Structures are given as C-alpha cells and as structure tokens.
Amino acid sequence: MSALSAARPLRPFFLLLLVCLWLLLSALGGWGVYWLAQRAGIADLRASGEHRMDLYAASLEREVDKYAFLPAIVALDEDVRAMLNRPEDAGLQQRVNQYLEQLSERAGTLSVYVVDSRGKVKAASNWRRADSFLGEDLSFRPYYREALRVGSGRYFGIGTTRGEPGYYLTSTLGSVHDRGGVLGVAVVKVGLEQLEQSWAAVESPVLVSDENGVLILSNRPEWKFTTLQPLDEATRQQLENSQKYNRRALQPLDWQVLRELDAGTALVRFRPGAAGASPGASANLFLSQSRPLHSFLATPWRMTVLSPLRPVNQLALSRAGVATAAMALALLLVALLHQRRRHLREQLAAREALQAAHDALERKVAQRTADLSAANQALQQEVAERVQAEATLRAKQEELVQAGKLAVIGRLSTEMAHELNQPLAALRTLAGNSQRFLERGELAVAQGNLQRMADLADRMGRITARLRNFARKSEGRPASVVLDDVLDNALSVLEARIDRAGAVIARKGEPRLAAWCDANRVEQVLVNLLGNALDAMRGQAAPCVELECRQAAGQEPGQVQILVRDHGPGLSAEAQEHLFEPFFTTKPEDQGLGLGLALSADIVQACGGSLKGANHPDGGAVFTLSLPAVPPAALADTRAG
C-alpha cells in the first residue's frame, strides 16, 4: 500500500512531463521546417535578385551607351574647333549654338555645350534660355578636369545652374598629351529619368550608388541623394567644394544591417518611420544584394536590389505551422499505438493468468474429487462475475456512444433551432392573422397568408437542407440574385416583428443591383442582421433601420454590398473583438446562443464574400455584407436567356 500511495502522486507529474515533451518536440519540428523553408526562400530570392540585377545593369548600360558617341561627334565638328580658335567670331559662335541645339533635340539630351581650355562655356544647346550655360566658369567641375587629364570622362552630378541631376559624357578637342594642344572639352549631359520611370513599375526597390555611397538612381524617389552610410566631415567638405550634388543634405538612409550572408548580400531592416518604410515590422525586412557596375569606366557605381522577405517569412511560417501540427499528430499517434500495445500486453497477461488459474483449478479438481462440487460452484461463480463484468463494460461503452450521439444531435438541433426560430415566429404570426381574417370572412387575404405560410414551410425545408449542406462544408449553387428581392424576402419574414417594434425601414442605394450568390443563404444572413438590429434598438420610441445597396469601391473591386445600420448604442470594444466567435453574445441567455453572426460569416465566406461589423460615425452599429458581383459571362447568358 505504501508503494502504491507513493506512485499515485507521481502519475500527474509524469503525464505533465509527457505533455511538455510532446509540445517541445512539436515546436522543434516546426522550428526546423521554418528554418529550412526560410533558407530555401532566401536562396530563391537571391537567384531572382541576381537575375534582376543583370537586367537593371544591362538597361542602365544601354541607356548611357546611346549617348556615348555624342561628345566625340561634337569634338570632330570643324565649326566647333574653329570657334575655339577664333572666340571673337560672334557669327561662328551663333552657328555652333544652333548646331548644338539641333543635336541635343534630336538625341534627346538635357544639354550639349563646349568649354574652352580655361573652363569657360563658349557654346551651349540652351543658348536661348535665360539660364543658359554661356559664359559660366566650370573649371572646378570634376568632369572637366578629368577630361583634361585623360581625354574623356563620365561623371554623375547635379547641375549648378538649373539644379538638374544628370550623367555627363566628356571628350577633349585636341591632344591631351600636349596641354597646349587642348582646345576645349565637349560635354553632353543626359538625364536618366526615363530609366527610373521604367524601374518604377517594379515593386522591389532598386538603387544605384556612386563612389561616395550616395544614391543617385532609384525607383523610390524619396531615397535619391541619401547615403548608404553616414559621411564624415572631410568627405562632406570635399563634395561641398566640388558642388557635385549642388549642396544637397545627403542624409543617411535609415536602415540597419541585421546579418551579413556573404560579400554583397545581407539581411537589412528599415527602421520605423524611415523614408519609404511600410507599416509593420515584417514589411520592412529585405534581402539586400549589391555588386559593382564594372562596365562603366571611371564611374565606380554599385547597384543594390532589395527583395522583400515578408513573403518568404509568411510561407515559412505557414509551412512551420503545418509541420508542427503534423509532428504533434504523429507523436500523438505514436503515443496511442504505444498505449494500445500496452493494453494488449495487459490483456495477454490477464489471459495467461486466467489460464494458469484454470489449470490450477483442474489439478485441484483431479486431486480433490471430494471437493469437486464446491470447486465447480466457485468456478461457475467466477465465470458469472466475469460475464457480468463484460456485460457492464459493454453497457458503459454503449452509454459513451449514445452520449456522443446526443452531443452531436444537440449541437445540430441548437443550430437548426437558431436558424428556424424566426421563420417559425413568422409562421405563428401568419397563422394567427389567417385565423382573424377567416373570422372576418376575408378569404382572399387568408388564402394569401396560407400561401405565404406554405412558402415559409418550403423555405424552412430549404433552411434545414442548407444547414445540412453547411455541416458538410458544401457551397450552394450561385446564381444572379437581385439584392432588392432578397431584402424584400427578409423583411417579409420579420414583418410582424418590425410592426410590433414600430420600426422604420429606410432603404436607399442603387436599384436592381445583382450579386452572384445563393439567394436563400443571403436571405438567412439578412434576417439575422435585421433581427440583431431590432434587438439593439429594443425599448426605443422610434427605432430606425437603414438599408443600402451599393457597388463596392476601394479595396473590394468587383463586389456589391448591403449595409444594415441600426441606431442603437453601438458595439462595445469586447463585442468588436469577439463579434464573429461562436457562442459569444451580449444578449440574455434566453434570447440567443451566440451562433447567428458566426454562422452568417461562414455563409457569406462560402459565397465568396465577407461580413464586417463596426460602429457608425453618427452612432449605432453598421454591418457591411459584401458579395461577388455577377460575372460578365453569366450576365451575358442571363440577358440572352
């Protein structure tokens, strides 16, 4: 007894330990699947990012190479050379201005101009403009100095006159080896806005940074002329002197590197409130891939592509959830199999013990013939007890099975009673009205009520059939349904209750608007919403229910909506949080089971729509029932029929 009493307190602890181990193993399995799925997703993102970088780099190179030959063409023009040799010839300068203007218009550049050996602009394509470059001193500009040093150059910067960002292509007129032989520099400034506009159609961010880490190109305009890393004071002063960015603020891009995967690849996150950041922490996680653009001479640019990690994490989480559930189910099955095997071993042991007892009894009978009658009676009594025990066990099993059946029947009957409560009330009201009409001799009205009662009875049959189909998770067959018609049917069911409450039904919206759904199911949802609206205004002197049929807009294209608004006290915070949960209700226990909105939401979702509840800005609660509009093909078939 002491050993047994000591083992009993250990049993709950052992069960708790098994449950904890089961949860731990399931969680570990889910975490392992999440880790593998995330790695696989990141690998796919990296491959996709590399491909996109190849496409972006090729498009950028094509865009710049279209204009690469223009400085050399300008440098070969005889009038340009003659103008630099004879700067006092005004007529020659005018011809060069016109030539550069025509060349810029045909090539689609921002500007084309010629700078002499002292850095003065002698001719420009924008010579007609008030802010023309003519006469400006550009000797301090890096692209001019680089052209004098090596003969040609490429440079990105912001113009000091008009403040336009552009890519500068330069070529010297004359020999760079002999400083005295350099007549000047031909400069072509091109814009890359068209390339950025083509990138703007891409959802994933792409950016190009120059040798200073400044973002000069991006499909996110708010990121342009920010820096990948904060600039030190010496670099800022140097850029200020060269006016490369025309005194832009050059604020650092507000992101954080979470983990370096390898050279040029890292996981980054934009801090909340950063420029271009999206709401939600998961939406600001990106896989950053960058590499230098080696094809651009003298422009050590670097391209970076940011691929959002949110889809990868969501897919990994969903797979981890499935894996966790599968792992938990597998472990549970293993435990059940182990328990079954243990039960079978116990049965075999009991049988062996019984057989041993029987053999011992046979030996005793053979040895003690005199005690045969007593032993026989004892054996019969033991067999009877076993038979009785087996009968008791079978009875208990039957009771458990019956209890399970009653539980299922109870749930179904509860749901059916909730759904049939309002049609039954309507039947009762119509029956009472018919009796009074018969007493008055108004047979036609009574016959109409009887016909409506028959229709309601048929409809109750359809409700039970629909509830059975809903229990099987099957959808009704959709058809073109006029919203005004289902509203009329729902209001007719609640006609007596509406009259009794003295409620006013205010209807507005687009007439004869049609939805693609099952009319009976939508009618049941409307009956429930209208009943809830009447309950919410119980006790008011002049209750009013507003109904509106309209075409959905905004986030729900291709949908039609029915709005049901009451003028009651509205929804509390707790009610909004648990609005569509089963068995949640704010009504007294004898007035509702808390299944109406839950079943309504499931019915609407099965029809391809949605049901939402909120408080109206002017008071009261408003429920929005969204349903799919009639497809064009079905609408054409309906009109043809």
Least confident of 87-91, 132-136, 402-406: 402-406
The overall average pLDDT reported for the chain is 78
Least confident of 47-61, 139-153, 171-185, 502-516: 171-185
Which CA distances in Å does 378 have to 330, 358, 367, 390, 442? 48, 12, 16, 18, 84
Residue-wise pLDDT for 67-78, tens only, equals 888 888 888 888
Residue 422: pLDDT band (50, 70, 90) is low
CATH number of 478-640: 3.30.565.10
pLDDT for the residue numbered 180: 52
Residue-wise pLDDT for 596-634, tens only, equals 788 788 888 888 888 999 999 988 999 999 999 888 766
- What one-letter code names the amino acid at 610? S
pLDDT for the residue numbered 588: 67
CB atoms within 10 A of CB 607: 23
pTM above the 0.75 mark? no
pLDDT at 231 over 90: no
DSSP secondary structure letters along 532-582:
HHHHHTTT-SS-EEEEEEEE--TT-TTEEEEEEE--SS---HHHHHTTTST
- For residues 637 and 523, the answer to whether their CB atoms sit within 8 Å is no
Least confident of 295-299, 582-586, 633-637: 295-299
pLDDT for the residue numbered 627: 92
pLDDT at 3 over 60: no
Residue-wise pLDDT for 328-342, tens only, equals 888 888 878 888 888
Which range, 202-216, 225-239, 370-384, 495-509, has the best average confidence (pLDDT)? 495-509
Instruction: Say how far apart CA 598 and CA 606 lie, in whole Å.
Output: 12
pLDDT for the residue numbered 280: 45
Residue 545: pLDDT band (50, 70, 90) is very high
> 171 pairs with which residues across the strands?
152, 186
533 burial (CB, 10 Å; 0-12 / 13-18 / 19+) is buried
Residue boundaries of the structural domains of the chain: 70-191, 371-474, 478-640
pLDDT at 430 over 80: no
pLDDT for the residue numbered 497: 81
Contacts (Cβ under 8 Å, ≥6 apart) of 207 = 215, 217, 218, 219, 220, 223, 303, 304, 306
pLDDT for the residue numbered 594: 63
pLDDT for the residue numbered 283: 61
pLDDT at 326 over 80: yes
- For residues 174 and 255, the answer to whether their CB atoms sit within 8 Å is no
Instruction: Say how far apart CA 130 and CA 107 lie, in whole Å.
Output: 22
pLDDT at 583 over 80: no
Residue 400: pLDDT band (50, 70, 90) is very low
Four-way CATH pick for 70-191: 3.60.130.10, 3.40.190.10, 3.30.450.20, 3.30.70.120? 3.30.450.20
Q: What share of the chain is helix, strand, coil (3-state, %, to 5)?
A: 55, 20, 25
pLDDT for the residue numbered 622: 94
